[in-house]
Chains A and B, each alone.
Chain A
């Protein structure tokens, strides 16, 4: 099955700086890549996603890039704020999987210091 690797496992940045989280995947059939944010005491929430027919997608301070050839995708957060502190998960979903089954990375604990 699909294997998703995520780095780094922890990331600390100063407020206002940028943060980048990187993921790689193994299955070339994967064509959907969501990113989830999990705050303390809550379940993961989708923050942005990208499909394999697109190389980059932006939503305000958040952007995701996809390199299908290299099988990696990244989350970029600009102008970080303390409320961005959370655990971020990347995921990949192979084409044809049951109900779009997601394979998750291990997560990145992002801490933004004021």
Chain B
């Protein structure tokens, strides 16, 4: 596979629940990303981390809270989500060389359904 794993693969939650998505990369990369993939829409970049520091936050509602404890792990904490948040959430990583456009390696995603 790609060297990027995500858990869980599927998640159903109510609007009042709190849950977390986990991503781990085994590639020795320094940059990690969260994307949201909805049907018929382009992939939406949510957050970018470089060396555990958040470098980009693309106007994502506060009900999504990222955490990057080290360069191999990335979490997305979810609380009081809305049904329109149902989507495939993809994690990706790249080498993280500043100023260089690099290949991003994606995990398989977490399919989230908010009821």
Contact = CB atoms under 8 A, between A and B. Distances in A.
B43 A100 contact: no
Contacts, number: 62
A96 interface: yes
B94 interface: yes
Contact of B94 (A51, A99, A107): A99
B43 A98 contact: no
A76 interface: no
Interface stretch (A14-22, A38-46, A54-62, A65-73): A38-46
B102 A43 contact: no
Which of B92, B101, B109 has most chain A Cβ within 10 Å?
Answer: B101
Nearest to B88: A43
Interface in A85-114: 89, 93, 96-107
A55 B63 CA distance: 44
B107 interface: yes
A90 to B, nearest CB: 10
Interface of B is mostly: loop
For this complex, into which size category does the number of interface residues on chain A fall?
Answer: 20 to 34
B48 A98 contact: yes
Given A43-B92, A46-B103, A93-B101, A104 B43 contact: yes
Contact of A102 (B4, B50, B55, B104): B104
Contacts of B34: none
Contacts of B55: 98-99
A10 to B, nearest CB: 11
A49 B56 contact: no
Contact of B56 (A32, A43, A51, A98): A98
13 contacts: A32-B101, A34-B103, A41-B108, A42-B108, A43-B90, A93-B101, A99-B98, A99-B102, A100-B94, A102-B43, A102-B104, A104-B43, A107-B42
Sorted nearest first, the 8 A-B pairs with minimum C-beta distance are: A43-B106, A100-B101, A32-B101, A104-B42, A104-B43, A93-B101, A44-B106, A46-B103
